Structure 1
């Protein structure tokens, strides 16, 4: 497998380690071995989910690691392994951002060109990946889409970060894929905008110039209070943690927030474009 999608080998693979630790903790449980069914009841999931996790089949559900840590008293072991699994599913240049994303208590995102990855539907993501890499195989595309969708679980877990996102009106207007794909994506944006932990705004095209016209940006705040900015180019990504630069870019984001439409007005614009397709 390509190093960009695996990033490790053998026993050091965090996905395999997660499976082995889960199986070992279950079999060595303090009051006696647990069956997969018993463990499933304790962590409020299904036996088939525990079986898939222990056999490295499919992704690890985002809400499972903290519950395993709680049941087994493993002091964050499963949570740390899950963060490594999530991070290593992405190319090297993006891994630092993904690692921070899994630990973020607050994410503020600006996207001038496409729907942010955390909000993309599988069909929308597929259309983007297909256009970006026309020589990719169906399996490669499916893997890229799966990684992106799995990453989105941070917004639906038990402790989602506060998520503020501003998209340019052009993102809403630009058709990616078929009209059906775009309607589905706009409908998904409306659903995300109704989440209590999400604030979704649209920056109208007539808002004029602003300080973040160079490209997309994310501001990530972790539980220890650290704030970093992630900026992205066509084939590159950069972490900015210099205090003065972070303060300047955060201020530019605040100005953008003030210039964008309100939540209700943004939802109305999205709905109008969806209905017009």
Structure 2
């Protein structure tokens, strides 16, 4: 059974087993009132019609005291909407003990704010409905749960200076995103560095690259481009890419100087 069907069945079952103030099962109308949504939305969710609004799973967990069950099913449902390669990458990311990111273009998804992600997703699919965009934003932000757990991975992110200075979103959205980078950089397990524009050419210059290391200390390298992605697991190629990443961190500004550059950019917005 698919995660989406499980979500629908769990929702209907939880609603029917819930004892309402009237002494009987919770009606769709009553659940809609508690979740601050519409009866038609509850009906669609129970009939697997349309995407799951990203704000509802956590509310359902609160209402039914299901300890994150609906949130987990939502994340699994969102993952199923991606091609197999992306699903594999995200599954590995959830279990990773370290995540290294290099981006020459945009803030990596793992560190994006909702507003920044919405701007990118809207630009990439101008014909999508607001509900579809909201679902995509929710799926992207759900990835950040690994950073808030009891044992977050060690995260290193090297961003091209152009990522910090390119105004791809309104000023307030960019300020929020830069502030989020500063906040992440203050964490014990996250380091943010900026690679100056005058840095020399390097192996990873072509596009965004992620290094994901699992509990077994095996590392995979994920390389992305427009509508495509590849996963590199050959040990020799992984070692070459890791050496190139080490060179990047050496060429990049220190974490402290990178934070100063980000603050300076915020002041220009």
Alignment coverage as a number of residue pairs: 235
Conservation of the 8 A alpha-carbon contact between 1:84 and 1:99: no
Distance change in 2, residues 1:131/1:22 (3 Å):
closer
Uncovered stretches (5+) of structure 1, i.e. residues with no partner = 1-11, 25-34, 36-47, 72-76
Residue 13 of structure 1 corresponds to: 2
Q: Is the 8 A contact 1:86 1:99 kept in 2?
A: no
Please, what TM-score do these two structures have when normalized by structure 2? 0.75
- Cα distance per residue 1:125-154 (max 9 Å; x no partner): 111111111121211111111111111111
Q: What's the secondary structure of 2:198's corresponding residue?
A: helix
| Residue 160 of structure 2, aligned match among 157, 168, 176 | 168
- Name the residue aligned to 2:129: 137
Question: Which stretches in structure 2 are left out of the alignment for 5+ residues?
Answer: 14-18, 20-33, 36-41, 47-51
In structure 2, distance between residues paired with 1:78 and 1:175? 36
How far is the alpha carbon of 1:83 from its aligned partner? 7.2
Cα separation, 2, equivalents of 1:86 and 1:154: 16
Give 1:90 shift: 3.1
Q: Does 1:155 align with 2:147?
A: yes
Assess if the C-alpha contact under 8 Å between 1:122 and 1:149 holds in 2.
yes
Match of 1:254 in 2: 246
Please give the secondary structure, in 2, of the residue aligned with 1:108. strand
Distance 1:144 1:86, change over 3 A: closer
Deviations 1:195-246 (A, max 9, x none): 1110111001111211211111000011122211000011101111011111
Equivalent-residue separation in structure 2 for 1:134 and 1:23 (angstroms)? 34
SS in 2 for 1:206: coil
Structure-1 separation of matches of 2:53 and 2:166: 36
State the alpha-carbon separation in 2 of the partners of residues 113 and 173 from structure 1. Answer: 10
Q: What's the C-alpha RMSD, in Å, of the aligned pairs? A: 3.3
User: 1:103 touches 1:222 (CA, 8 Å); kept in 2?
Assistant: yes
TM value normalised by structure 1 = 0.73
Which of these residues, 76, 87, 91, is aligned with residue 99 of structure 1? 91
